[in-house]
Amino acid sequence: MNSYELTISQALKKMEQGELSAVELTKSCLDRIDAVEKEVVAFVTIDREGALLQAEKADSQRKSGQGGQLCGIPLSVKDLLCTKGLATTCGSKMLENYVPPYNATVVEKLKSEGAVILGKTTMDEFAMGSTSESCAFGVPNNPWKKGYVAGGSSGGSAASVASYECPGSLGSDTGGSIRQPASLCGIVGMKPTYGRVSRYGLTAFASSLDQVGPLCRTVEDCALMMDVISGHDQMDSTSVKQDVPHFSSSLRDGLTGLKVGVPKEYFTKGLDPEVEKIIYNSIDVLRKKGAEIIDVSLPHTEYCVAVYYLIAPSEASSNLARYDGALYGYRDIEADTLIDMYKQTRSKGFGAEVKRRILIGTYALSSGYYEAYYKKASQVRTLILNDFKKAFEVCDVLISPVTPTPAWKMGENTEDPLAIYMSDILTLSANLAGIPGMSVPGGFTSEGLPVGVQLQAAHFQEEKLLQTGFNLEQSLGLEKRQLDI
């Protein structure tokens, strides 16, 4: 086995036993990037020099007994998390040359535990999208099938892990942007409870929905990363003062006593038959592991897309108002007047999808329409949250598909944004309710495309997700398959 194929936990064991150094592992990942990156297109920025220096530091820390929990592990970071001295573009021309003067809290936590940051990954511009096709600096390929989407908006993060360019990555999830690409790329991805992980240094898309989380190849690795990035942060006003359990301890065999709910609204028309078969097979697996399977209802699911695409664009419209060319980022220098500079900067600096959402959000917040749109959407959001509260009175975990279909061809729905919006129908509700959710590989279609299983739990119940996901992963024992790169 090549070093770059090791999972985080496997690499840590080898380094603890002196069989592998951080420099060797980092070089192996960089060599892998050199070999496949032209096809994968997972990175916007690769910090070769910096990564090797970090790896050398990790090796000396380990020798002196000061190594952290992720000492020497090379990771990628979604390009909307601030990295001191390393460009943070958000996949947009607007921030093409922006280099932050500070690290996001989650990046700081990784570095303090000895992790090596390899670089920043491709993503939908300002995290607005489901395919990563709106990235201004390249579109990531699905490593399982060239010419197919890797998902979005954390598509580059998912592709970098799935293609063995690194064992783990940090992404962000506003409406499924960790879980959906994790599912399409056949890896594990977790969106923690809103407030569990600091958002300080995360470039905001929709502030009441955004959450940072890990993408890895195993549930154990997901738990290891959650152990490091979770916890209260006084720099983030939305961070919750909640005790952080040792997530790695939740990976126990057996699910006796666990009640798993199957929401009927997630199994309706439009669900691909192969996806449905894989999910029902996973339900049978959990039953055999001792879980009790219960039918539940989330009656307001049908309103999730409409609610999300009013709330998220409204918040985006407000958050993206700062990109006007006046203080930092792209500025149109050909404008003759101040007003023209504002107009032309935003017209040229933002891509089509970002402009579309700014227009939707600005309209929904405008005088005379706020009550009918944003306020009404916020009220229905409460009903969606109440659906989950009622469901979790009778079950511990919900199981469903992550997306209605496996990955699709690039460009297939480019001219039909509504079709792409509808692909998020099964993931949006977790963000609207603020609950944790994760995607765990469930199998492959006849075309060899991966399909993920979505697990959701009540607020701050990530341990139940990890335990359920671990049992599912171990029982399925999916065989290693050949990537299309």
pLDDT digit string (tens) for 257-285? 999 999 999 998 889 999 999 999 999 99
In the beta sheet, which residues pair with residue 399? 455
**pLDDT of the residue at 405:** 95
Domain count, the chain: 1
428-460 burial, b if ≥16 CB within 10 A, otherwise e? bbbbbbbbbbbbbbbbbbeeebbbbbbbbbbbb
Residue 153 domain flag = yes
Q: Tell me the C-alpha distance between 372 and 453, whole Å.
A: 36
Q: Has 154 been annotated as catalytic?
A: no
Q: Which of 27, 78, 109, 464 is catalytic?
A: 78
DSSP H helix total and E strand total for the chain:
15, 13
98 pLDDT above the threshold of 80: yes
Residues in contact with 350: Cβ distance below 8 Å, sequence separation at least 6, in sequence order: 92, 93, 94, 125, 320, 323, 358
Phi, psi of 83 (to 5 degrees): -130, 115
**pLDDT of the residue at 328:** 86
Within a 10 A sphere around the Cβ of 367, how many other Cβ atoms?
6
| Pair of tokens at residue 428 | 């949006």
Residue 130, classed as helix, strand or coil, is: coil
Residue 150, classed as helix, strand or coil, is: coil
pLDDT above 70 as % of the chain: 100
* Cβ neighbourhood burial of 61 (10 Å; 0-12, 13-18, 19+): middle
Q: Which of 153, 169, 400, 429 is catalytic?
A: 153
| Pair of tokens at residue 310 | 């009013």
Q: Tell me the C-alpha distance between 286 and 261, whole Å.
A: 11
416 pLDDT above the threshold of 80: no
Phi, psi of 72 (to 5 degrees): 85, 5
Q: Has 84 been annotated as catalytic?
A: no
Q: Tell me the C-alpha distance between 75 and 73, whole Å.
A: 6
Q: Which of 3, 132, 177, 198 is catalytic?
A: 177
Between helix 8-16 and helix 22-40 the angle, nearest 10°, is 150
Closest CA to 32 of 72, 5, 50: 5
In the beta sheet, which residues pair with residue 296? 263
Residues in contact with 39: Cβ distance below 8 Å, sequence separation at least 6, in sequence order: 141, 146, 485
CA atoms within 13 A on the CB side of 233: 22
Domain holding 138, by residue range, is 3-255+458-476
What CATH number is associated with residue 168? 3.90.1300.10
Residue 71 domain flag = yes
**pLDDT of the residue at 144:** 98
For residues 427 and 437, is the Cβ–Cβ distance under 8 A? yes
Residue 194 domain flag = yes
pLDDT tens-digit readout, 7-65:
999 999 999 999 999 999 999 999 999 999 999 999 999 999 999 999 999 999 999 99
Residue 377 domain flag = no
Residue 299 domain flag = no
pLDDT band at 480 (very low <50, low <70, confident <90, very high): confident
Report the DSSP pairing between strands 437-444 and 450-457: antiparallel
Q: Tell me the C-alpha distance between 279 and 284, whole Å.
A: 9
pLDDT tens-digit readout, 319-349:
999 999 998 899 999 999 999 999 999 999 9
pLDDT tens-digit readout, 440-460:
999 999 999 999 999 999 999
Residue 96 domain flag = yes
Q: Give the pLDDT mean for 301-312.
A: 96
Q: Has 355 been annotated as catalytic?
A: no
Residue 184 domain flag = yes
**Residue linked to tokens 């999830």:** 173
Q: Tell me the C-alpha distance between 215 and 176, whole Å.
A: 13
Residue 413 domain flag = no
